[in-house]
Amino acid sequence: MGPCRLAGPPAKGVCGASHELITAKNLLRTLAAGAAAHCGQAARLGEYLGKKLPAAYLARKAPAYLYRAWRSAGLLPAPGPSSCFREISEAMHASAMGVNSDWGDLVKWCLKMAILDGYYGLHAATALEDGKFGKPEAREGALNLACLSARKVNIAVHGHEPAMVEAIAGEARRHAGVNLVGVCCTGATFLSAHGIPLAAHFTLQEEVIASGLVEALVVDSQCILPSLSDLCECYHTRLITTNPLARMPGAVHLPITDARSARRAAKRAIELALRNRSARKPGYEAAFGENRQPPARVVIGSSEENVDVPGIAAKLRRGGLKGVIAVVGCVNPRSEAAGWVDAFTELSRDYLILTTGCMAFELGSHGLLDGKRALHLGSCVNNARIADIFGRLAELCGRRISSMPLLVSCPMPITEKSAAIGFYFAALGCAAHFGGPFPVAPGTATAGALGALLKNECGGELLLEADPRVFREKVAKTLLPAFWGRERARRGCGRAGTGP
Ligand code: MSK
């Protein structure tokens, strides 16, 4: 028996589980893992800062009409940030072998995980970050591998936790010969908060080491390829881990639990890198110089505070802008990124793009992050900023989120976290798109039930589409115009000039 997979007939597994049950269980486990990562990140940051969020955090933060709708549909997690781990553990229990076999009920659990991820993960982590480090400021930044320096000692910082970012950025300022670069979401945080360059996203992380120029790679948690251990051995790079949950073979472990241990780890990491400079093998510097393309110049540091939300709302109302598209989540080696970049470049003529995480890097390296067509909002947890902007836009337009032309697209999802982010936005009432590999297979009864639940209880919609051209057509021709039309239909005011 097992693992639970059904590719065709028979209609049920030997245990009696149907396709629907298996897909619902798998999706629930995916979303619970995504929520665990974001909530764990927020909880760890809260412990590090000695801060707790109020028990009524979700009730205060969520739009009141949505809170009521979620409550009456049985989608609300138990109150209080600390309850989220109990909920996640119950979701894992409910989806374990022989526990909950009502797949319709498990689909509800999926949305509960997504809502919990949004508030106790994304919003909580972003609020804690902002409380400690302040809101980012819009500024110019640089990205891609060209941000490494052949003349300096390179230290790459990779993962998701701002504590190490802050400590090492502070310490590195005292060493003129040190070049600090970020990778993945730590890179996005570096870029937004400190203007430090972003060398790579998820699929380019190995190339940072393979440049032969990196003296130390400091990692905390999430999206860190296990292959980096082997790769660091092939080059001279010292691998340093800082999260007690995320040890790696061959790494120097410098656990961070508070500000003191962060400062100590930052100092030690820089010492190790400086000492390791002499181990850099000859030849790499010359090869880097020959192949180096200039870094992409980007505008970074947008937030819900410095984006002109009233101006965007006014443009939406006048029809000068057809909608807002959030491009979020991962890049993955199975999908062709170029097609997606083309689709969003095309859409950016009529739609404002807000972007985070690895997709922000992808768009930025193709010149889209110019501060006009596409705005960089930070790391994956900073999708909370986009949710705030969406909520405010709806308020300013006198509508609900579900009748606004607002889309979240996760075109190349690879982690459980990106699935949780997309479903959170769908629960807010947005259109939510996933490219392949899909978190739930299109055309299945489970995908249908989820779509119906989202539409009926939250007003959201699910679009599963792996072809960038088809996606672009659907979004521009039917999906977003239909969202905007919902309110006009309700109010009976569908005249020309009342919206795009
Ligand atoms: S880092 S979750 S690969 S966006 Fe947030 Fe990139 Fe996806 Fe990790």
Q: pLDDT at position 499, please?
A: 36
DSSP string, 213-282: -EEEEEE-SSS--THHHHHHHHSSPEEEE--TT---TTPEE----SHHHHHHHHHHHHHHHHHHGGGPPT
Of 25-29, 36-40, 278-282, 488-492, the least confident: 488-492
Residue 240's nearest CA partner among 263, 259, 266 is 266
The arithmetic mean of pLDDT across residues 236-254, rounded, is: 97
Where do the domains of the chain lie, and which CATH numbers do they carry? 19-133 (1.20.1270.30), 139-291 (3.40.50.2030), 297-491 (3.40.50.2030)
Q: pLDDT at position 187, please?
A: 81
Q: pLDDT at position 500, please?
A: 34
User: d(Cα 249, Cα 255) in Å, to the nearest integer?
Assistant: 15
pTM of the complete model beyond 0.75? yes
Ligand 1 midpoint to CA 70 (Å): 28
Residue 165 has pLDDT above 80, yes or no: yes
Residue whose CA is closest, atom 7 of ligand 1? 330
Ligand 1 midpoint to CA 328 (Å): 9
Q: At what angle do helices 309-318 and 383-396 cross, to 10 degrees?
A: 50
Q: What is the mean pLDDT of the chain?
A: 93
Q: pLDDT at position 13, please?
A: 86
Ligand 1 midpoint to CA 259 (Å): 25
User: d(Cα 405, Cα 390) in Å, to the nearest integer?
Assistant: 10
CB atoms near residue 234 (< 10 Å): 10
Ligand 1 midpoint to CA 358 (Å): 6
Residue 140 buriedness (CB in 10 A; 0-12 / 13-18 / 19+): exposed
User: Looking up tokens 């993955």, which residue turns up?
Assistant: 332
Index of the ligand 1 atom closest to the CA of residue 201: 6
The arithmetic mean of pLDDT across residues 470-476, rounded, is: 96
DSSP string, 250-267: TPEE----SHHHHHHHHH
Q: pLDDT at position 190, please?
A: 78
Residue 70 has pLDDT above 90, yes or no: yes
251 pLDDT band, cuts 50/70/90, is very high
CA atoms within 13 A on the CB side of 196: 30
User: Looking up tokens 């760890």, which residue turns up?
Assistant: 44
Tens-digit pLDDT profile for residues 179-188: 999 999 988 8
The arithmetic mean of pLDDT across residues 267-272, rounded, is: 98
- 15 in helix, strand or coil? coil
Give ligand 1 pocket residues (Cβ under 6 A).
184-185, 201-202, 223, 329-330, 357-358, 379-380, 414-415, 417-418
| CB neighbour list of residue 487: distance below 8 Å, 6 or more residues apart | 399, 400, 403
